[in-house]
Every structure is written in structure tokens, then in C-alpha cells.
Amino acid sequence: MLDLNDLRLFALIVENKGIGRASRTLNQAKSTISRRLAALEYQLKASLIDRDRDDFTLTQKGEEVYQLSRTILEAGLLVEATLANEQTKLNGNINLSLSSLFVPVFTHIAAELTQTHPGIRLNIAVNDDTNIQAQDGYDLYWRAHGQQLADSALKQQKLARHPLQVVASPLYVKRKGLPYSPEALVHFDMLGFEHTQRTNQLSFSSGNSFTTTVDYLPKLRSANIDLLLHNVLASVGCAVLPAYSCAPYLANGLLVDILPDWQAESLTISLLKRPLAYQTPMVTTVSGLIERSVRQHFALVAKTEQGVATLLRPVAAKLSYTAPSIRLSPHDALQFMPETNVTSGENLMNPIFKAVGAAVIGASTLLSMPAYADDTPGPVVVYTNDFEDVLRDRFKTDTGRDAEIVQMSGGELLARIAAEASNPQWDIIIFNGSNALQALDDKGQLKRMVEPRNLANLNEIGQKQLPQTKAWFPIGLAASCVLAYRKDMTETPPASFEDLANEKYAGKVGMADPAVAAPAYPCVAQLFYAMGDEKARAMFGGYFNNGLRVFRTNGPVGRALEAGDISVALLTSQVAYTLKNKGAPIEILWPDNGAPGSVRGVGIQAKTKRPEAAQTFVEWMLEPTTQKYLQDSSGADGLFEATVTGAGRRADGPPEGSIYSVAPAAFAAKQEEAIKSWFADQAVR
């Protein structure tokens, strides 16, 4: 018969995500725990933990045993709790971690607990972190979050979804006007409620179920509701806030909903508890009070969907405006406040936003509102998988124009562009891979026959890579993959890409995923183009048979090589030379017939509303001073061969005269789906 103590030990190993952490939790030697785990596996005649993975992962059988173990242990502990008289008394400590949004609400809960159950002692921590783990030590976690919480051994109970809305003070509306759509928020000073991991996008939905995603780069972010309300009431900007926190200010006219026909993506309100085995009557009591408070304090429950309440916007009071009369409040950060006549809430939509909304604010306000036309001179929006923030300030300094930079990995960037195909949010794209630019051109998403005034600046590299359609312009060239190897770990260095299929490199080779990392696909595409489809598939198939390790992007590949987790890598020249320059014990093999190359290019969105600013940006990228600046200020990204005369090159990069072999953009674009699909199939075999 199985020893239930071994099942309990296994459950603790799982909940601590490894033997090492379980050892520290139980204060037992790792060898003892490992031996007992091995004995349990022997008795069950099954492996419970996948020891071939770098991270802690259960086998399918291990997952089954864990679930059964938890059921057995919870039943046993529940019997103990029922029989133990002290467990039935509401007397002791409760440790609660809650999001800052709920601090005002918890005042009511604390008052009720102290009056009804004086034996309960509350230990409260205010924390908006969404990476919650059972070993953090709290009995309950009360969270507001926008995205799914990290996996843990805790039991998550979703209590409700609560809307976010965009609000501003009447004075700010008078000064800046009203946004005609969520996309127009780029012209407003945004303040953001940091309720979850930082994001640069925000989704909105309208009453007819139409959704749109817009750039979200607030000038001030905070999880502190009081701080945000203080600033939005003081007319610093408009804010994306939980409807609950805005309700009283909307009711008395201090705030107005500036996008009443749109609702930002909702928060989820969740309660997380330790497994049933660790729950006491005190925990159950506090949980019940929290659930009741959510229903009482977070607006009206409209409907339920799969057991989760969906909460309506709070009812806004009807405002009656004549002329905007302003009075000064010297003792408050609310420097100006319009006089309003407040009546009872009669309508879910404030009349200020009805068809006669402009007249409601008054003729003087209407005249002061900015009109947003298609050629609005806002910041040019640049989507890029390189350079990040080094572009913005220098572009402003050199041209006097503003730019908003949106940076992400190549795969994520292309997915975002595809999602926005019917309503593009970008003006400029900078991408490391001519195949992607060619594909965008083929789909009509790039403006063709652009004529930069300084096109003659292109050097031999630039002229060779310039497409006939002039839909994009080369701004740099680098090796998409060279062979980098640890000289202290490699007895016989590889002489070619084909060598990596040799069994002596088994499990020691790594590369980036061509479906995610922008430069990785040009590497694979060039090898397919140069070798032919059959030979290339045979070579990469040999890699996978030999235990090739595929990382998300080139950065993790370089770190794995530097740490000695792998000894050979197909790596961009930029990352490889950066590692070598910092003293890593690596050597770089540059194939005699040239390394696969990747061309970085810049193009203009076909339907841009800022064609003049977009062309200015392209011309700026074709200036030698700009390319020299990017080389000097962009770290590894700056190790590229310039495409314009006069920019020079960095001495710490590939040697002068290095040969680059770039697959024709048309070939790479046409074969992209087939090659990436085949590669992915091999990776999951």
C-alpha cells in the first residue's frame, strides 16, 4: 500500500516547483527528498517528473498522481480541521494581500470583522503584483488584473469583470476637445491605471461589438487610484480608470466620460486562496465578506457569463450646462471646477455627449476644440523590432517632429500589423528582414514609388538591396547567422553549417526561432536558397535529430552560449561580436562563401495620414549622420554595415570586406510560410 506521507511529499515538491525549494520548505536534505521521490516512482512504476526539461515539468502520469494526492490530503486535513475544536474558533491571524484598488472597500470589511469577530487579527499588504505564488505566505489574495494570472498552486475564484473608462475634467475637455474615437487618444495626455503588467496597447469595444486596439503610452502610470484621480481632476490629462473609482466624480460633474460609446477592456476581480487543506473558518469568513463587497461596491451586476459577474458602468448623473463658469479653489489641487446643476441619474449616457453635445458645453468651448482631420499633425508612429527608444529624441532634435516608437519582436510586430490590417495604427515600419518588407509590399500595405530627396545617399550595399517598387529602403545589413562556438568547450570546431548535424555536437547547438526572431528567418531562408530545398531540409532535420535547442530570440541564444548551456550557436553577427567584445570565450566562424545576411529596411504605410512626416522620417534614416548615430548608440543593434555613403562602420564588428549572402526578398517572402511551418513541425516532433 502507498505511504500517504510520500504522496504528501510529492504534492509539496509540485507546489514548490522542485526538489530544491521543497527541501528548504521542509528543512530536509535534497538527497532525502530525491530518494523518497524515486521510491514513489518505483512503487508506481511510472516517471512523475520530466527530467529532460530545463524547467520543472510533470509528466502526464505525474499530473494525475498530483491531483489524486491533493484530493486525498485535502480530505484528511478537512477531517482534522473538523475534529480540532481550535480550528472552528474565529480567533487568530489572517494574512491578506490586496490590490490598491480595493483599499477603500476593505475599510468596510475591516470594520465588520472587528465588530463581529474581535478574535480575528488582520495582517494586510497592499500589492498589485500579479505573479502570485502559494509560497508567498498569505491566506488570501484579492486582485484586480487585466491579463491572466501566472500559474500557481492557488485556487483562483473569478468574482467579476469590471469596466475601465476614459475620463477627464470638464476644464481639460474645454482645453483639448473630445476624441472622436479611441484612435484619437494619441493626441491627448494619457494617465494610466497600472493594474497588471505594463502594456503598450489598449483594446476598446463599442455597443455594436466592434473592437479596436490603439497605442497606449501614458505619460503617467500608477496603480494608486488616489494619485491618478488627483491628477485627472487637476486637468493634467485624461485617464483610463476603473469605473468604480470614477462613479462619485461623474455623478457630481467633476469628471466626464469622454468616450461614452466605447468601453476599454475590463478588469477581472479575482480572489485566490490556498488549497482547501489550508483553509480555516476564518479564511472562509473573510472570503465571504470580500465576495459580498464586490457585489455591493462595484456597480450593478448586469448579467453572468460562465458564473462570472459582468459589471455595468456606474450610472452617471445628468449634467446641465449653460456657459462654462469657472471658479478658483485655492485649497485644492483641483485648480478649476465648472459650476454644474446636478440632478438624479436618469440616463446611462451623460447628455453632454448626445448629438447636441457641443452646444451643451457652450459656443466658446466649441470654438476652442481642436478639429482632427485625416492629415492631423500628430506624432509619426513607428513600428520597429530594433533600436527601441534611441530614435525618438534624436528624430525630434534633428527634424523638430514628434515620433511614437512601438518596439517588439519581429513575429509579434507582424502579427500586430496583420491584426490591424483594416485599420492600421502605424505610419512607419523598421524591420530587420527584407522578406517581411517584401510581403507587406505584395499585400499593398506599403506606399510605393516613394522618392526621398536624398536617395542618392545610398551606397553600393543600399543600391543593390533597393526594391524596384521603392516601397522600402535599406538602412543596414548584418549577418543573420554566423557560427559562434565556445573555444573552451569545443575540441573540434565546426567548419561549416553542415557540421552541426554531427553527433559530437549532440544537444550542444542552439539557434533562434525563425517564426519569432526577425533575423532568424533570413538565416534559414538564405540556406534554403543556396542549398536547395532538399539539402536544406536534410541539414536542419539532422540538427533536430541531434538535439537542436531552439530559443525564442537571439538574445537568449547568446546568453546560453555565454553561460555554457550550449557550446555552438547559429547567432546574428551583432550578438556574436558583442559577446566576443565583452570577453566571452567564443570564436566566430565566417563562412568563406559569405554568411547569410539580413537587410534592415524602412517603409511607409500605404494609407498613412501623415505622408509628409513619414517621408521626413525615411529621409532622416538615409542620412549618414543618422546611421552613424544608430551605430554608436544602439549597442548590439548598432553593429551593422551602413547603406549610405559617409556613415562608416564600427571597428568592433565583423572585419571589413566580410561577405554577406542575402536570399532574394521575393524568394524569402514566397517561401516564408512553407519554411516556417516545416521548421515548427520539426521543433515539436
User: What digits encode the pLDDT tens for the residues 79-104?
Assistant: 655 555 444 457 778 888 888 888 87
Q: Where in the chain is the domain with CATH 3.40.190.290?
A: 90-312+367-372
C-beta neighbour count of 208 within 10 angstroms: 6
Q: Per the structure block, which three cell numbers stand in for 238? A: 485624461
pLDDT value, residue 341: 31
Closest Cα partner for 407 from 394, 390, 420? Answer: 390
So what's the architecture of 4-83 in CATH?
Orthogonal Bundle (1.10)
What whole-number distance in Å separates Cα of residue 208 and Cα of residue 423?
17
Q: Do 526 and 663 touch, CB atoms closer than 8 A? A: yes
Q: Where in the chain is the domain with CATH 1.10.10.10?
A: 4-83
Q: Do 518 and 409 touch, CB atoms closer than 8 A? A: yes
pLDDT value, residue 14: 86
pLDDT band at 305; cut points 50, 70, 90: very low
Res. 642: pLDDT tops 50: yes
- Burial grade of 556 (CB within 10 A; 0-12, 13-18, 19 or more): middle
pLDDT value, residue 570: 95
Ranges 196-205, 416-425, 434-443: which has the least confidence: 196-205
Virtual torsion, Cα 171, 173, 177, 183, nearest 10 deg? 150
What whole-number distance in Å separates Cα of residue 94 and Cα of residue 282?
7
Average pLDDT over residues 477-495: 92
Q: What mean pLDDT value characterizes the chain?
A: 79
Helix or strand run (H / E) with residue 191: strand 190-193
What whole-number distance in Å separates Cα of residue 230 and Cα of residue 245?
12
What whole-number distance in Å separates Cα of residue 491 and Cα of residue 513?
27
Residue type, 515: A
Q: Taking CA 391 as the corner, what is the angle to CA 386 and CA 392, rounded to the nearest 5 degrees?
A: 130
Percentage of the chain exceeding pLDDT 90: 31
Average pLDDT over residues 7-30: 79
What whole-number distance in Å separates Cα of residue 522 and Cα of residue 479?
9
Res. 586: pLDDT tops 90: yes
Q: List Cβ neighbours of 661 (8 Å cut-off, separation of 6 or more).
A: 526, 530, 593, 594, 595, 596, 597
Number of Cα atoms under 13 Å in the Cβ half of residue 587: 11
Who has greater pLDDT, 110 or 300?
Answer: 110
C-beta neighbour count of 683 within 10 angstroms: 15
Residue type, 238: C
CATH class belonging to 90-312+367-372: alpha beta
Residue type, 277: A
Three-class SS of 75-114: HHHHHHHHHCHHHHCCCEEEEEEECHHHHHHHHHHHHHHH
pLDDT value, residue 112: 78
Task: Say how far residue 488 (Cα) sits from the centre of its chain.
Answer: 37
Q: Per the structure block, which three cell numbers stand in for 507? A: 544537444
What whole-number distance in Å separates Cα of residue 106 and Cα of residue 116?
15
Q: At 341, is the secondary structure helix, strand, or coil?
A: strand
pLDDT band at 644; cut points 50, 70, 90: very high
- pLDDT tens-place string over residues 228-281: 899 999 999 999 888 888 888 888 889 999 988 887 877 888 888 876 545 677
Q: Do 679 and 515 touch, CB atoms closer than 8 A? A: yes
pLDDT value, residue 529: 94
Helix or strand run (H / E) with residue 396: helix 390-399
In degrees and rounded to multiples of 5, residue 604 shows phi and psi of: -110, 135
pLDDT value, residue 62: 85
Q: At 370, is the secondary structure helix, strand, or coil?
A: coil
pLDDT value, residue 115: 78
Percentage of the chain exceeding pLDDT 70: 80
Q: Do 624 and 617 touch, CB atoms closer than 8 A? A: no
pLDDT value, residue 414: 85
Average pLDDT over residues 437-466: 94
Closest Cα partner for 577 from 523, 649, 514, 507? Answer: 649
**What is this structure's pTM?**
0.47
Q: Which long-range contacts (CB under 8 A, 24 or more apart) does 330-337 make?
A: 333/230, 333/233, 333/234, 334/169, 334/233, 334/234, 334/254, 335/234, 335/235, 336/169, 336/171, 336/235, 337/170, 337/171, 337/254
pLDDT value, residue 479: 93
Helix 390-399 × helix 624-633 angle, to 10°: 150
What whole-number distance in Å separates Cα of residue 635 and Cα of residue 626?
15
Ranges 251-255, 320-324, 412-416, 534-538: which has the least confidence: 320-324
pLDDT value, residue 361: 29
pLDDT value, residue 276: 56
Who has greater pLDDT, 40 or 223?
Answer: 40
Residue for grid cell 482631420: 373
Q: Are strands 201-206 and 211-215 parallel, antiparallel or unpaired?
A: antiparallel
pLDDT value, residue 338: 33
What whole-number distance in Å separates Cα of residue 645 and Cα of residue 634?
20
Q: Per the structure block, which three cell numbers stand in for 519? A: 533575423
Sign of CA dihedral 615, 617, 620, 622: negative
Distance separating the N- and C-terminal Cα atoms of the chain:
38
Ranges 39-48, 106-115, 584-593: which has the least confidence: 106-115
pLDDT value, residue 617: 94
Who has greater pLDDT, 169 or 162?
Answer: 169
Average pLDDT over residues 411-419: 82
Alpha-carbon distance values, 344 to 10, 299, 302, 315, 320 (Å): 60, 16, 20, 10, 11
| Best-predicted range by mean pLDDT (46-50, 275-279, 364-368, 608-612) | 608-612
Average pLDDT over residues 536-550: 92
pLDDT value, residue 397: 87
DSSP single-letter state for residue 458? B
